[in-house]
Homo-oligomer: A and B are copies of this chain.
């Protein structure tokens, strides 16, 4: 009846941006629309006196043997105050037969980074134009690195245009990523320049003010916004969603509360009757995704518990197979 505890070091050695992990995340989204899934609203615990918040996410896919509850912290002062990353987190894996804890993955947020990047790659597989020459990445943080790396699983591209308001972060990205990606990485002077000159764009910032304008988009372009995951966060002007031929959400009801869809609905650019599709419809083959080279497509990702359950169960399976982890408890 012991509990397997797996450390971050072990998890980093076991779980990567690879095809199997990509398929696990895609299957998680498919389950959202093809299976009975218990997906409670995100629990958010604000720690206002520290400018911090802890989010709890969970998802149970009917018939699965186990599922994960993720506890993830975002404490934005950590780097300055404590020289610690702002993000942290751990995954608690429970038996769906008994409710008892079977494993704890002490990943400190690593698995969240991976599953978030893989969701971006799943979107790109189905919505990016077939031919991608230039990738635009807004946000040169950790997730900005994972996104371009994950994108290489589904498209080959020749260069990355990168933008960040923080010049030091931008310099570090340009210095570091050409070697990681094996392609050219070039600073964009502005978000406008980046959007106008990229085939696909990903935004992964904590912005509370929109910064992508609809008139910058061009035919055939795909844009994924993954920064907004709370009511007050926003990266896209609402008209961006209005201009898209296809709007895809990871979870429509959640995006209508916490994502870009929320602001588009508030602004009246979209209404409750507007056609919006869930990513799971596309991964499950119920919707074709992009159907022409000319379409403009936009994806709104807020992060869903099925991603955490999917990546956790993959990680645990690999840990068990590798004999990793420590057995503890009574």
Q: With A43-B40, A43-B58, A69-B71 in contact, is A52–B330 under 8 Å at CB?
A: no
| Interface assignment of A50: CB less than 8 Å from any CB of chain B | yes
Known contacts A48-B62, A62-B48; is A92 also within 8 Å of B94 by CB?
Answer: no
Question: When A41-B43, A92-B90 are in contact, do A73 and B98 touch as well, CB less than 8 Å?
Answer: yes
The residue among A40, A84, A98 with the most chain B CB atoms within 10 A of its own CB is: A98
Describe A's contact surface by its main secondary structure.
Answer: strand
Of A99-107, A151-159, A246-254, the segment with at least 4 beta carbons within 8 Å of chain B is A99-107
When all copies of this chain in the complex are counted, the total is 2
Of A41, A47, A53, A69, which is in contact with the most chain B CB atoms at under 10 Å from its CB? A47
Task: Say which size band chain A's interface belongs to.
Answer: 35 or more
Q: Which of A36-87 contact B (CB under 8 A)?
A: 36, 38, 40-41, 43-50, 52-54, 56, 58, 60, 62-63, 67, 69, 71, 73-75, 78, 81-82, 84
- In contact, A96 and B63 (Cβ under 8 angstroms): no
Interchain CB contact under 8 A, A38 and B43:
no
Q: Could you tell me the distance in whole angstroms from the C-beta of A66 to the nearest C-beta in chain B?
A: 10
Docked Cα-Cα span, A62 to B56, in Å, equals 19
Contacts A101-B106, A106-B328; A96 near B52 (Cβ below 8 A): yes
| Stretch in contact with the other chain, from A5-13, A228-236, A266-274 | A5-13
| A286 touches B (CB below 8 Å) | no
User: Whose C-beta in chain B lies nearest to the C-beta of A11?
Assistant: B330
Contact partners of A92 in chain B: CB under 8 A: 71, 90, 92
Are B73 and A99 in contact, CB atoms less than 8 angstroms apart? yes
CB distance from A53 to the nearest CB of B (A): 8
Q: What separation, in Å, do the CA atoms of A78 and B171 have in the docked complex?
A: 56
